[in-house]
Structure 1
Amino acid sequence: MPLDDGYGVLRGPITDYFRDDPDDYGKYYHGNLRVQAPNGEYRCAIDVDAKSSAVGVEWRVVELRADELASVLSLGVGYHDLATSSSSGALDYIRSPMFAARTGCVAIIMGLLGKKLDVSTLWKKGSDIDALSDLEPLVQSTRNAGLHALVFGEPFSSGLGLHNIHQNQGDPAGSIWYQSNGTWQDGCTVLQQSADTWVAFMNKFSTQSYATDDFGHPI
């Protein structure tokens, strides 16, 4: 089922970054990017953990080439709605070729050894602070160089901003997020490091599956 307020990508320079106040951050803890667009400044809330939760967070940092992002880079600076499909430029942690390619060689080697790749081993696991400690140097590098961020997620229902910047599929049956599961709608923070190099900060919760069906439900 699609996210309530749609899905899209924001491109622009980073004007600020901050963590939520640990004493007053509400239900979820975020690292927050402010990104400048032609129609104003957007706040992008990157979800890294549930407050007072033992669920934990998982994340990957994947280097990408500019040509792998060509379809969204061609849209230019600003926010753009994306169809939740493989041809729109939308991201899917499980299905996007740019992410699958990074596991291909490992999977081939494991296959030759008669073993199956355990996808969970590709993800780092830890606390919200651990995750942000890996994200923040990348943010700082992009900001200092005056380069751009690409932020994928769901737009705020009011005001300029994006949330649900995390995996948006694989939540288990019975959870309040099960009905929001869907393919080609994953949130992600992609940061430019040079003219031709970007890095994707992928983040998910440990309750979310590494494999999903065509509806984004866990299998």
Structure 2
Amino acid sequence: MPLEAYGVLSGTLHRHFRDQPDSQGRWFHVNLEVDAPAGRYRCAVDVDSKQSATGVQWKVFTLAASVLEPASTLAPGFHELSMTSGSGAIDYLRHPAFADRSGCLSVRRPPAWLERLLARLNPPRPWISGSTLEATQALEGILLPGRPIMVFGEPFDAGLGMHNIHQNQGDPYGSQWWDDNGVWQDGATLTRRPDGRYDVFLNKFSTQADHTDGAGHPA
């Protein structure tokens, strides 16, 4: 079954800080403090390598605000989103602005002219694999205090905050996260540049599949 709730927090980045050792159990987070009308939210971005030198993977790139609609047009605050295409939800494998064309399954290869057009509209963005520290530094590169920010993920059960800010599908059968698999519920961190475009940080784990079925399970 998917996450119990999913949505996007729109606000202003106040600051960020790294976990101290063992402050969040086994997993390491970069914590974002985001100001919104309801107060200051804490958003815990999981960049833990899961005890592996290459267990965490990430991408950093820039997108126009228009391709993020309707999420980019929402007022400051937390907004619950339906886990469907067109709601503003993010799916790393299905959203046209995020999906890696090289990872898409297709019956046949498109003609060369179409491949060139697709490359301009959505250039290949391979996942980078590395350590927790490297992933942390990549995320911190887009975290400028005072920037407008959108954080996608699951809200805390109590208090102002969000977690599950990472890919939330493709976890293998038998893992503790299998039951959380679902489509159109991936987490992400986006900060708005002065020119109106968004810097995007996506993060996942090497154990998560790059192809999933309609339930978000590995295909």
TM-score bin, normalised by smaller chain: 0.7 to 0.9
| Cα drift, residue 52 of structure 1 | 4.0
Amino acid at match of 2:200: A
**Of 121, 126, 133, which residue of structure 2 is paired with 1:129?**
133
Return 5+ residue gaps in structure 1 as ranges: 113-119
Runs of 4+ in structure 1 over 6 Å off = 107-111
| Cα drift, residue 55 of structure 1 | 6.4
| Cα drift, residue 51 of structure 1 | 5.5
| Cα drift, residue 63 of structure 1 | 1.1
* 1:108-119 correspondence to structure 2 within 5 Å: none
Moved more, 42-51 or 170-179: 42-51
Match for residue 46 of structure 2?
47
Match for residue 116 of structure 1?
none
Q: Distance in 2 between matches of 1:170 and 1:44?
A: 22
TM-score (norm 1): 0.86
CA displacement 1:26-79 (0-9 Å, x = unmatched): 121000100001011100000011564566100011210011122012221010
Moved more, 57-66 or 69-78: 69-78
CA displacement 1:143-174 (0-9 Å, x = unmatched): 2xx32110000000111000000000000011
CA contact (8 A) 1:55 1:207 kept: no
Mark the CA change 1:50 to 1:25 in structure 2 (over 3 Å): closer, same or farther.
Answer: farther
Report the 3-state secondary structure (helix = DSSP H, G, I; strand = E; otherwise coil) of the residue aligned with 1:99.
coil
Q: Distance in 1 between matches of 2:101 and 2:196?
A: 21
Match for residue 22 of structure 1?
21
Amino acid at match of 2:88: G
CA contact (8 A) 2:14 2:34 kept: yes
CA contact (8 A) 1:31 1:48 kept: yes
Report the 3-state secondary structure (helix = DSSP H, G, I; strand = E; otherwise coil) of the residue aligned with 1:28.
coil
TM-score (norm 2): 0.86
Moved more, 43-52 or 79-88: 43-52
CA contact (8 A) 1:31 1:46 kept: yes
CA contact (8 A) 1:62 1:99 kept: no
Match for residue 117 of structure 1?
none
CA contact (8 A) 2:53 2:130 kept: no
Amino acid at match of 1:123: W
Q: Distance in 1 between matches of 2:158 and 2:7?
A: 15
CA contact (8 A) 2:59 2:125 kept: no
CA contact (8 A) 2:15 2:33 kept: yes
| Cα drift, residue 2 of structure 1 | 2.0
Moved more, 91-100 or 193-202: 193-202
Match for residue 71 of structure 1?
70
CA RMSD between the two structures? 2.3
Match for residue 3 of structure 1?
3
Match for residue 38 of structure 1?
37
* 1:1-219 correspondence to structure 2 within 5 Å: 1-4=1-4, 6-49=5-48, 52-53=51-52, 56-100=55-99, 103=101, 122-140=126-144, 143=145, 146-219=146-219
Amino acid at match of 1:12: G
Q: Distance in 1 between matches of 2:49 and 2:109?
A: 36
Larger fraction in helix: 1
Q: Percent identity?
A: 49
Report the 3-state secondary structure (helix = DSSP H, G, I; strand = E; otherwise coil) of the residue aligned with 1:73.
helix
